[in-house]
Structure 1
Amino acid sequence: MTSHGPWTLRTGTTVYAVRLSPDGPWPELAAWGPDGTETGPSPLDWSRRTHFITPADAAPAEYIPYGQRPFTGADLIACRPGEERGTWWAFTGAEQDEDDDGTQRLRLTFADEHLGLTTALVYATVPGTDVVRRRTEHTNTKAQPLRLERFDSGAVTVPVTRAARLTCLTGQWSREFQLTQVELERGRFEIGSTQGVPGHAYAPWLAVQDAAEPADGPATPTYGIALAWPGNWHITADAEPGGTVRVRAGRLPHEGAVLLGPGATLTAPWLACAFSPEGLDGLARAWHRYERRLAGERLHRPRKVLYNSWEATGFAVDAATQLDLARTAAGIGAEVFVVDDGWFPGRDDDTGGLGDWTPEPTAFPEGFDAFIHQVRALGMDFGLWVEPEAVSPRSALHAQHPEWVYRIDGRPATLVRNQLLLDLGRPDVQEFVLATLDRLLGDHDISYLKWDMNRPPTERGRPGGGPPETRDLDAAHVAGYLRVLDHLRTRHPSVTVEGCAGGGARIEHATLARTDVVWPSDNTAPLDRLAIQHGYLHAHAPHTMSSWVTDAPGVFDPRPRSLAFRFVTAAAGVLGVGADIRRWSPEERAEAAAWIARYKEVRDTVHRGEARTLGGPTDATCGVQYEHPGGGRVVVTAWNTGPLDGAPLVPGRAARLRLRGLDPAARYRDARTGTAYSGAHLTHAGLAFAWTATYDADLVVLERGVTP
């Protein structure tokens, strides 16, 4: 290695190599792929000749400023206020080291002495995964402020033959995480959000493949990125000259630019980069391993089966009704009872109460603690729903602190869901939220907290907070949000924290690193939910995916499915129940209890095992396979999404799911039926499912090590 590189980072099975370009002072990607890819000529090498563009515009640059790359998309745009935009930097050094835990770090620095800007490109591996994390740090070295219009976290370049296949997760409220593919031969593709959260429309996640290869091929090289930022963001992909696609990602300031003061440093969010040689399914497992690493020791705490009372009672919360539900929930095996919206004063509907976070005395006439004690006496933990960032206009909090909401003087306020949003970037608002949560969790025996957010910020101003161009409201709100979550993890480590934002509008790695589970969607209808979870599991791990069994009809696919179908769907992640179980028949409750008992036996495999998707919800039969660490157990969740009568294409012939990744010489026994299979049979012939009108889903447990 010379002072110009290459610099090599090694993960569990992959390599990421960076070098200084021979054409100018910018870093380029030399190799990214399986270990050994760095040996030999780089697939990103080019002739060094350009026509009507600069060499920097054609280079596979890891990060490059406008000024040096003026035409095809820069990652950094900076200037002094009132002056022309542009940065022309020089390489100033590299530092590479390795921590005791195996984390490899690389830091490349560049400086524009005239502008007074120093930029550091920071790389770090994550032990036990195939993820390389990247971000940038920008420091103003002069006595005048700097204006940063773009400051992406990083960029990656992927070689393709003719076109790139981009896989993203799209949707809307109640239809999040729809797996969507776009073929990009020329031009630009962009997704993002300016809603103050990642949003329902797109997830900050992208997979890139050569369109000449099959998307789900077991030997298709697949590259992925994911941005850890719970605020405004973008991901942009450009089909570049010479057979590459270049993807850059970063946050978007609400004000359009950030003013960086003298001596100040702006640190961009982490961008996680992952590679798998095994297609989208292999990339999903790479992300799952990374998110299990983010969970740390919390991964080993069982995700308990919860019952949430919202769909049964709505805002009509009172102790007697809730206890009636709690007794029934305990009877089917629930381990946590969560009271949702409606437990605080003024909350008869969604027009009041938010911000006044004390239990409604008339709803709990014997006292809130006595109510919690009665729930816990049933053998369940107790949980509570809160929406800490929200405030109702007619609440006592808003009357006392109208200045705490986002607003613009002289302009009307927009109500969304009849509420306003607190400016969590303000230190006094943060202190209020911290004190509120400490009081609730400290004064009452609460072990589960569901944090919701049901509206984006509108009229996003802060009167009296200085000129708008000097603020960075989006980053301030994110910092406040993460500060509160970090406080919860430190001050209340035993409390399970669920993240929710009107469903799946705020799910990304910064949130997942600080919560135990998240709520992917408010849509719990069986076939709708199956499609949501199929997309979700391509980007996120099963142990993070909260899912409920309800009686909700389909929003987009209204075909009914059995209670078994709904339980198997919810058991594919973290099982919960949200139906009005008082209305279920004794037979349905008995069936529910049996499914919950089966789930408890396999949840460790579901949450910690290697997951593989087996087809998808557009197939008549699909499933998810989970292999326990060490391979001693395989769990398969399977569904019939086809005709309601369950009729196969050929009468009398069962549908089959071919399993993947099993040892062909190993022996597996169905724990329920006793049927034994070889690994070769399961991967070649598959598991048989003789679907009928009433048998439309199953959960199969295969124990390894039994001879047929």
Structure 2
Amino acid sequence: MPVTSLNRRAACLSLLGGMAALAVPFRSDADARFDERIKVFRLDGDGVTYAFGIDSVGQIQALHWGGSLAVDDPLPAAPNPSDFSGFDRANSVTPLEYVAFGGGLVTEPSLKVAFPDGGRDLVLRYAGHEMTAEGIRVRLKDISAEVHVELTYGMDKATGMLSRSARVYNRTRRPLRIDQMAAATLNLPFADDYELHYLTGRWAGEWTVQKRPLEAGSTVLESRLGMTGSQNNPWFAVGRKDVSEEENGPVWFGALAWSGSWRMVFEKDILGQSRITAGYNPFDFAYLLKPGESLETPVFYAGYSPDGMGGASRRMHRFQRTVILPGAPAPKLRPVLYNSWEATEFAVTEQGQVALAEKAATLGVERFVMDDGWFGKRNNDRAGLGDWTVNREKFPQGLTPLIRRVRELGMEFGLWVEPEMVNPDSDLYRAHPDWVINFKGRPRSEGRNQMVLNLARKEVCDYIIKSLDLLLSENDIAFLKWDHNRSWSEPGWPERPVAEQQRLYVDYTRNLYAILAEIRRRHPRVEIESCAGGGGRVDLGIMRFSDQVWPTDNTDPFDRLKMRDGFSQAYMPGVMMAWVTASPNWVNKRSTSLEYRFLSAMQGCLGIGDNLNHWTPDEFATAKRLIAEYKAMRATVQRGDLYRLISPQDNSPRSATLSVSGTRRQAVLFAFLHSSSKFETAPRIQLRGLEPQTRYAVRAIAGTVADDTPKVASGAYWMNHGVKLPLRGDFQAAACVFDAV
């Protein structure tokens, strides 16, 4: 969580004063030690050791990141740095933990500043350290100027997840401009066969898994959108080609906890050394620090797994569940919800919503969510955004009668909002046209007929908090679907002095977090879903305030198999909302059975978005049965260990996933077939993660198992011999539950 010591501007910014502790959002409980004799620090947790040391000139060098070392194993002191040539100075070829642009640096800097006299040289040296409750805090200082940098290290003992962040202090007598600032630089052990895994996408096509070798030069992943973005997600994993597989081999992985513009740079230098630098995106970035001010980065989380990509994912999932999410270490299970969007779109009425709620309740739905169209003059997407008052033409008595009926039916009530946006055709914009992000005198681009409110401004923060607080105080609302349907354009803040306008890139996102934190403080029972035109804002920063996320607007159940595979590389299934919607699906006009659609969605947080007014009695019966089955196993699906048994990538005709409960007493298998041909025989699926000696009973909840399948067998049998699911045809699916007996 980035927190600055800026001059706070009352209301909204005063909220941030109480959020400084979020800079490192977990109390590091890993073993942290410093060997005074050789000047070496180390952190240890869950089979991982991270070590770094102070070299002879006061630089901080990386020494080890990987599998755990014994407490008494000798670690070498940081070696003396030396130039490789007159072109390649020591600071460009030494594996440094944090390096500033200066002293001849030609590789990616962690920090770049500009002084008022035009100087841009900054050379950092060790100035002290503290061993703290959060881990390790190392202080650096420029060789002459009063520019100080504080590096914070922590590690979660249960997962071995490392946290790193940095704060720069201006203790000079003049303003200092930050042109580039990373949370950390991570150095990988030397190897010449690294392969980078990352996630790319677009609207309705998010979470595509990409791979490329780490070769000489740089690979850059970034967002310039003012938000996380779908084009790249701020997550990475690095394995060794032909060595690191799904369940075997070393993998280094990590994610940046930031929901604004960000950048990750993967470098392989002239000596073949690989490093990763991540933080604020320097594109169009300039942050002016006045004397006495400081700026802190987001947190960069990183981990190591000896158990391949699957092991890396399971560590990341466990860390999110026990440290990051609201309610950690035991976040609430996600309820089955119904959302009205596809049934009514903007044509919401009290009578129509009640009719849908009554039908949803018969299925066992636990949360009814009314989507867009309930407020202001919102009859289409061209008007009303920003006016968060109930439309009295549609709801003459307000929301109370609808909510009362939803509650009588045994469900919670939720509501769609998009607080960061405004339509030009709105009372808010007519009153405050200066509240949007804009460049003075330049066109104001619209996306989806809307513009972005400038959350960096105090009065905008105050308005959003006041509007939502009133809405939640006057109505029994348990859930907000918080949407964000366009990226930035014309990223200006003309009310600020010219030299301070680009603070927007930090202050907007920082204030977004503050608003979410304040809403949750005032209304602790209210849960929030992060949505941004689909999966455009999913990251470890927003997840601290979001109980679940909307990964994509694409609800095609077959497309979702690949997307879920990509999503699960970085994020846990227990936050991934997935709806059952109409067939043929609006995206591809693909027809699939209701059972297939349910099984696809049941691998995450189950929801229904179809128009229940069009369902047949048989469809209601199928849905009611599968929702009951989901409730009985959702703790395993949402909180268990995920094993990607058969990948849907590379045009695979089959895919399969297995979720295993933390106690190893239950496992849930989902299997899918795209299409069969030539009378092919279905392969056996070998499970993972079970207790070999425990006996498990198998029960098919959809589809069937082969006739020769035993009803009860050992975990060893299911893992080594496997189970056969005789799927044939197009878009077929099956699911089984394995319960310990």
TM-score, normalised relative to structure 1: 0.94
Match of 2:344 in 1: 313
Match of 2:634 in 1: 603
1:628 aligns with 2:661: yes
Contact conserved, 1:528 with 1:555, CA < 8 A, in 2?
Answer: no
1:496 aligns with 2:531: no
Partner residue of 1:370 out of 387, 401, 404: 401
Contact conserved, 1:253 with 1:473, CA < 8 A, in 2?
Answer: no
Unaligned runs of 5+ in 2: 1-34
C-alpha displacement of 1:4: 5.6
Contact conserved, 1:524 with 1:552, CA < 8 A, in 2?
Answer: no
C-alpha displacement of 1:621: 2.2
**Distance in 2, Cα, partners of 1:158 & 1:306:** 43
Percent identity among equivalent residues? 34
**Distance in 1, Cα, partners of 2:472 & 2:371:** 15
Give the counterpart letter for 2:666 in structure 1: R
Indicate how the Cα distance of structure 1 residues 316 and 488 shifts in structure 2: closer, same or farther if over 3 A, else same: same
C-alpha displacement of 1:579: 0.8
Give the counterpart letter for 1:431 in structure 2: D
Match of 1:508 in 2: 539
C-alpha displacement of 1:681: 2.3
Give the counterpart letter for 1:693 in structure 2: G
Q: Describe the SS at the equivalent of 2:245.
A: coil
1:659 aligns with 2:690: no
Match of 1:202 in 2: 232
Match of 1:231 in 2: 260
C-alpha displacement of 1:89: 2.4
C-alpha displacement of 1:554: 5.7
1:257 aligns with 2:286: yes
1:97-145 CA distances to partner (integer Å, 9 max, x unpaired)?
A: 4x3xxxx511111111522200111101124222110000100111101
Give the counterpart letter for 1:213 in structure 2: V
C-alpha displacement of 1:424: 0.8
Indicate how the Cα distance of structure 1 residues 656 and 212 shifts in structure 2: closer, same or farther if over 3 A, else same: closer
Indicate how the Cα distance of structure 1 residues 615 and 49 shifts in structure 2: closer, same or farther if over 3 A, else same: farther
C-alpha displacement of 1:255: 4.1
Give the counterpart letter for 2:417 in structure 1: V
Contact conserved, 2:639 with 2:662, CA < 8 A, in 1?
Answer: yes
Contact conserved, 2:684 with 2:723, CA < 8 A, in 1?
Answer: yes
Give the counterpart letter for 2:128 in structure 1: G
1:438-479 CA distances to partner (integer Å, 9 max, x unpaired)?
A: 111110111111100001121121222221445400111112
Indicate how the Cα distance of structure 1 residues 225 and 68 shifts in structure 2: closer, same or farther if over 3 A, else same: farther
Contact conserved, 2:84 with 2:93, CA < 8 A, in 1?
Answer: yes
**Distance in 2, Cα, partners of 1:50 & 1:254:** 30
Q: Describe the SS at the equivalent of 1:181.
A: strand
1:575-615 CA distances to partner (integer Å, 9 max, x unpaired)?
A: 00001121121111110111111110011111221111112
Indicate how the Cα distance of structure 1 residues 347 and 428 shifts in structure 2: closer, same or farther if over 3 A, else same: same
Contact conserved, 1:163 with 1:186, CA < 8 A, in 2?
Answer: no
**Distance in 2, Cα, partners of 1:447 & 1:661:** 36
Q: Describe the SS at the equivalent of 2:600.
A: helix
For residues 70-81 of structure 1, what are the structure 2 equivalents within 5 Å? Answer: 70-81=105-116
Match of 1:58 in 2: 93
- Bigger mean CA deviation after superposition, 599-608 or 544-553: 544-553
**Distance in 2, Cα, partners of 1:68 & 1:304:** 56
Match of 1:87 in 2: 122
**Distance in 2, Cα, partners of 1:514 & 1:508:** 11
C-alpha displacement of 1:682: 1.8
C-alpha displacement of 1:533: 1.1
Indicate how the Cα distance of structure 1 residues 514 and 542 shifts in structure 2: closer, same or farther if over 3 A, else same: same
Indicate how the Cα distance of structure 1 residues 160 and 7 shifts in structure 2: closer, same or farther if over 3 A, else same: closer
Give the counterpart letter for 1:68 in structure 2: G
Match of 2:671 in 1: 638
- Bigger mean CA deviation after superposition, 28-37 or 421-430: 28-37
**Distance in 1, Cα, partners of 2:585 & 2:116:** 53
**Distance in 1, Cα, partners of 2:415 & 2:283:** 32
1:35 aligns with 2:68: yes
Q: Describe the SS at the equivalent of 1:472.
A: helix
Q: Describe the SS at the equivalent of 1:152.
A: strand
Give the counterpart letter for 1:484 in structure 2: I
C-alpha displacement of 1:689: 1.0
Indicate how the Cα distance of structure 1 residues 43 and 330 shifts in structure 2: closer, same or farther if over 3 A, else same: farther
Runs of 4+ off more than 4 Å:
40-49, 468-471, 552-559
Match of 1:136 in 2: 166
Partner residue of 1:7 out of 33, 41, 50: 41
Partner residue of 1:174 out of 201, 204, 214: 204
Give the counterpart letter for 1:691 in structure 2: L
Match of 1:115 in 2: 145
Match of 2:487 in 1: 456
Q: Describe the SS at the equivalent of 1:188.
A: strand
Give the counterpart letter for 1:392 in structure 2: N
**Distance in 1, Cα, partners of 2:79 & 2:688:** 36
**Distance in 2, Cα, partners of 1:532 & 1:427:** 38
Give the counterpart letter for 1:668 in structure 2: Y
Partner residue of 1:281 out of 296, 310, 318: 310
**Distance in 1, Cα, partners of 2:724 & 2:105:** 58
Contact conserved, 1:337 with 1:383, CA < 8 A, in 2?
Answer: yes
Indicate how the Cα distance of structure 1 residues 316 and 296 shifts in structure 2: closer, same or farther if over 3 A, else same: closer
Q: Describe the SS at the equivalent of 1:465.
A: coil
C-alpha displacement of 1:553: 4.7
**Distance in 2, Cα, partners of 1:593 & 1:351:** 37
Give the counterpart letter for 1:656 in structure 2: R
C-alpha displacement of 1:480: 1.4
Q: Describe the SS at the equivalent of 1:361.
A: coil
**Distance in 2, Cα, partners of 1:552 & 1:28:** 57
**Distance in 2, Cα, partners of 1:126 & 1:511:** 20
Partner residue of 1:330 out of 353, 361, 379: 361
Aligned length: 693
Match of 2:736 in 1: 700
C-alpha displacement of 1:20: 1.5
Give the counterpart letter for 2:48 in structure 1: T
Contact conserved, 1:236 with 1:249, CA < 8 A, in 2?
Answer: yes
1:150 aligns with 2:180: yes
Partner residue of 1:544 out of 575, 587, 606: 575
Alpha-carbon RMSD: 2.2
Indicate how the Cα distance of structure 1 residues 161 and 8 shifts in structure 2: closer, same or farther if over 3 A, else same: closer
Give the counterpart letter for 2:340 in structure 1: S
Unaligned runs of 5+ in 1: none
**Distance in 2, Cα, partners of 1:147 & 1:37:** 44
**Distance in 2, Cα, partners of 1:630 & 1:43:** 42
- Bigger mean CA deviation after superposition, 329-338 or 469-478: 469-478
**Distance in 2, Cα, partners of 1:253 & 1:478:** 15
Indicate how the Cα distance of structure 1 residues 552 and 525 shifts in structure 2: closer, same or farther if over 3 A, else same: farther
**Distance in 2, Cα, partners of 1:54 & 1:253:** 24
C-alpha displacement of 1:302: 2.5
Q: Describe the SS at the equivalent of 1:606.
A: helix
Match of 1:410 in 2: 441
- Bigger mean CA deviation after superposition, 310-319 or 294-303: 294-303
Give the counterpart letter for 2:92 in structure 1: D
C-alpha displacement of 1:655: 3.1
Contact conserved, 1:637 with 1:698, CA < 8 A, in 2?
Answer: yes
C-alpha displacement of 1:69: 5.5
1:297 aligns with 2:327: yes
C-alpha displacement of 1:434: 0.5
1:161 aligns with 2:161: no
Match of 2:606 in 1: 575
C-alpha displacement of 1:301: 2.0
Indicate how the Cα distance of structure 1 residues 45 and 162 shifts in structure 2: closer, same or farther if over 3 A, else same: farther
Contact conserved, 1:254 with 1:472, CA < 8 A, in 2?
Answer: no
**Distance in 1, Cα, partners of 2:143 & 2:77:** 34
Q: Describe the SS at the equivalent of 1:670.
A: strand
C-alpha displacement of 1:183: 1.1
Indicate how the Cα distance of structure 1 residues 696 and 43 shifts in structure 2: closer, same or farther if over 3 A, else same: farther
**Distance in 2, Cα, partners of 1:542 & 1:346:** 37
Contact conserved, 2:334 with 2:605, CA < 8 A, in 1?
Answer: yes
1:396 aligns with 2:427: yes
